[in-house]
């Protein structure tokens, strides 16, 4: 069977999992996806209400018996089916299994009058990297089709142990190595706000389904921005935790065994309280007992309380930068950073410029480490089916791409470690100069508010944080406004890449695009950075 036939068969099989009564009239596909709810009669008014509730409230209503797991799961299965038909955000959909699981949770609750765990009855969506026993994990490779998993990933198992209901696996780009979401099996996933915009990647399916509220909390992964870019492009919240905080064991991956820059998993959601619910729920299951790389570090309330004390005394110290010195962000992103900076200062906190240190070097180092094998693994997966590479990753899989030998790889890894230590020294110098602890850094997540298809050309704003292995939380700030966010005609390009990125900006084309920032902290500071991000959200709303 050739790769095109195999892909067509898989798409047909996925379509068949959607019940006829959950299908949309194809004529509605001409509208922006996010605007279709008023026209759809698939969800009942109660189901629409359920899918609009925050996760923190849903788990409360499930725990007190006001909602059943079957009702909640059915509502999200329906909305996920609609989201997929409008954005193409799914790789796997298994509503029958999910509703059966929800029914067993309701039976347990009826018998014992208590919940199984902190996520009892809450549907959670998973990026296609997560292994679920009996379900396929294709990751957008044709050669990976028709192979059902024989075991669960550690995270999958822990989510079910906490009471979550699993019902979908979401779309990724071929190889996972680009910040758009397209592959030869399922095609392209689009942005719910505008069909011409990317949903981000590589956790793009999670960005789309959560934005459409076909999921309330979705699990993504991040090697170079793959949680943060979809969160930013879809006006959502995303957490890139440090390596070792949340379990990654037995997740499928590209470049498995690559240890120089670790991929991490984390949530994409609608609020910081929902983000905190997810992290606390996973940590409550002792993930270090199931993944040897997880640091045995339960949720540290004292770290959160330390930041709350600084917030109440208006004594946060926040660094910020608008440009990394390599590529200047588009006007909506520059304005978003300025909004956050101004609001923090107005609240009485100390806001000080941060000088990005060798970010161009770190971005280049990340690119070299991610193709240290010369593209051997990628070529192997593609050749197994005969499928071509998507255009977005041509730069990664050039046949002439050289492999690093062992000594070159060791040297590159040493450069990374040296860079991490140098960055710490810069933080120490900052703190000595100002006589205060640096609590966080505010920065762009990418140079784009959103990007048109096949136009994402610069990863540095996100990737440098992966090299440092710092904690980062994305928060939505504003939206691009064509009357305000005009391109500068006096612009002098910082580099050829900068010239390319700036040429893409069009105020008309990007009007209404979400503009976000990332809140960055040192390694393993998840409690602190989530708390600071939550305070920023409050300040922005008050403003």
Residues 62, 72: Cα–Cα separation, whole Å: 9
Q: CA-CA distance, 242 to 535, in Å (whole number)?
A: 21
Beta strands in 207-320 (DSSP E): 217-222, 237-240, 264-269, 317-320
Helix or strand (DSSP H, E) at 175: none
CA dist list (Å): 59 to 102, 120, 218, 278: 13, 7, 15, 11
Q: Which residue has the tokens 């200062």?
A: 345
Taking a C-beta distance cutoff of 8 angstroms, is the pair 519, 351 a contact?
Answer: no
Residue with tokens 């993504």: 220
Please state, in angstroms and rounded to a whole number, the distance separating the CA atoms of residues 126 and 238: 14
Q: Tell me the pairing of strands 317-320 and 350-353.
A: parallel
Cis peptide before 312 (omega within 30 of 0): no
* Beta strands at 217-222 and 264-269: parallel, antiparallel or unpaired: antiparallel
And the tokens for 164? 């979550």
Q: Is 240 helix (H, G, I), strand (E, B) or coil?
A: strand
**Partners of 182 in the β-ladder:** 188
Nearest to 89 by CA among 174, 171, 154: 171
Q: Are strands 317-320 and 237-240 parallel, antiparallel or unpaired?
A: unpaired
Quote the CA–CA distance of 267 and 231 in Å, as a whole number.
9
Work out the angle between the directed axes of helices 331-346 and 526-542 (0-180°, nearest 10).
Answer: 90
Q: What is the chain's Cα-based Rg? A: 22
Determine contact, residues 43/79, Cβ cutoff 8 Å. yes
Tokens of 502: 């700036």
Nearest one of 105, 170, 106, 102 to 132, comparing CA atoms: 170
DSSP string for residues in 94-135:
-HHHHHHHHHHHHHHHHHHSS-SSTTTT-EEEEETTS--TTS
For residues 138 and 267, give the distance between their C-alpha atoms in angstroms, rounded to a whole number.
Answer: 21
SS3 assignment, position 169: strand
Q: Which residues are tagged catalytic?
A: 127, 202, 226
Distances in Å between the Cα of 445 and the Cα atoms of 44, 407, 412 are 37, 33, 25
Question: Got the DSSP string for 274-294?
Answer: HHHHHHHHHHTT-GGGT-TTS
């Amino acid at each position: 069977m050739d790769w095109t036939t195999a892909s067509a068969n898989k798409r047909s099989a996925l379509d068949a999992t959607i019940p006829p009564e959950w299908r949309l009239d194809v004529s509605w596909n001409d509208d922006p996806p996010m605007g279709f709810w008023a026209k759809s009669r698939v969800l009942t008014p109660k189901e629409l209400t359920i899918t609009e509730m925050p996760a923190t409230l849903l788990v409360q209503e499930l725990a007190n018996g006001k909602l059943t797991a079957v009702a909640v799961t059915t509502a999200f299965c329906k909305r996920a089916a609609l989201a997929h038909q409008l954005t193409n955000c799914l790789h796997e959909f298994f509503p029958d299994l999910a509703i059966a699981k929800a029914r067993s949770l309701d039976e347990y609750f009826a018998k014992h009058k208590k919940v199984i765990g902190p996520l009892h009855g809450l549907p959670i969506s998973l990026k296609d990297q997560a292994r679920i026993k009996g379900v396929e994990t294709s990751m957008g490779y044709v050669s990976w089709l028709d192979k059902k998993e024989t075991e669960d990933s550690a995270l999958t198992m822990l989510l079910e142990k906490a009471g979550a209901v699993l019902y979908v696996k979401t779309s990724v780009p071929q190889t996972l190595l680009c910040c758009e979401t397209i592959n030869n099996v399922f095609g392209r996933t689009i942005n719910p706000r505008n069909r011409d915009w990317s949903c981000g990647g590589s956790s793009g399916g999670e960005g789309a389904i959560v934005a459409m509220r076909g999921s309330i909390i979705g699990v993504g992964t991040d090697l170079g921005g793959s949680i943060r870019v979809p969160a930013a492009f879809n006006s959502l919240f995303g957490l890139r935790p440090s390596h070792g905080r949340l379990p990654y064991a037995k997740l499928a991956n590209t470049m498995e065994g690559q240890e120089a820059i670790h991929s991490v998993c984390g949530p994409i959601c609608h609020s910081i309280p929902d983000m905190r619910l997810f992290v606390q729920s996973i940590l409550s299951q002792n993930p270090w007992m199931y993944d040897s790389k997880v640091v045995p570090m339960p949720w540290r309330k004292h770290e959160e309380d330390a930041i709350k004390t600084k917030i109440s005394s208006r004594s946060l110290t926040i660094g910020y930068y608008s440009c990394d010195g390599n590529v200047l962000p588009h006007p909506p992103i520059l304005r978003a950073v300025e909004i956050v900076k101004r609001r923090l200062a107005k609240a009485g906190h100390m806001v000080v410029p941060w000088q990005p240190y060798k970010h161009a070097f770190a971005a280049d180092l990340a690119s070299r480490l991610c193709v240290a094998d010369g593209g051997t693994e990628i070529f192997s997966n593609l050749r197994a089916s005969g499928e071509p590479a998507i255009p977005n990753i041509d730069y990664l899989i050039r046949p002439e791409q050289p492999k690093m030998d062992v000594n070159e790889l060791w040297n590159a890894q040493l450069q990374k470690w040296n860079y991490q230590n140098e960055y710490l020294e810069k933080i120490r110098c900052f703190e000595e100069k100002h006589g205060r602890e640096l609590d966080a850094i505010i920065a762009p997540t990418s140079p784009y508010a959103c990007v048109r298809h096949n136009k994402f050309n610069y990863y540095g704003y996100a990737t440098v944080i992966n090299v440092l292995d710092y904690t980062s939380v994305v928060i939505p700030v504003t939206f691009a406004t064509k009357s305000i966010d005009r391109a500068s005609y006096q612009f002098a390009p910082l580099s050829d890449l900068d010239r390319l990125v700036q040429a893409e900006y069009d105020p008309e084309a990007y009007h209404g695009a979400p503009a976000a920032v990332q809140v960055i902290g040192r390694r393993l500071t998840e409690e602190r950075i989530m708390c600071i991000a939550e305070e920023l959200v409050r300040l922005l709303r008050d403003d």
